Amino acid sequence: MLSFAVVLEYADKGIRINAVCPGGIETEMISGMEENLLAAHPIGRLGKPEEIGEAVVWLSSPAASFVTGHIMAVDGGYTAQ
């Protein structure tokens, strides 16, 4: 994957590369499709935009300073099925 190649290129320069992969998120774009999306997410609900933002903020924070090359699924369990 491209993100792994970039990780190896920049890790020794102190630049961390991670990817956030969201699941179904409550937005105007999915209006009317909620029922189908809810059935696909084991957690039983759609995500909120803020929840994706919180994942990005954590990955960008000093608390995640040793995290690089991580693909973080923020998808209510969708990829765990």
Q: What percent of the chain has pLDDT over 70?
A: 99
Question: Which helix H or strand E contains 19, and what residues bound it?
Answer: strand 19-22
Q: 77: pLDDT confidence band, cut at 50, 70 and 90?
A: very high
Average pLDDT over the chain reads 92
> pTM here?
0.84
Residue 43 and residue 78: Cα distance in Å, rounded? 8
Q: 1: pLDDT confidence band, cut at 50, 70 and 90?
A: low
Q: Express each pLDDT in 5-42 by its tens digit.
A: 899 999 999 999 999 999 999 999 888 888 888 889 99
Both tokens of 38, joined, read 């809810």
Domains annotated on the chain, with CATH: 2-80 (3.40.50.720)
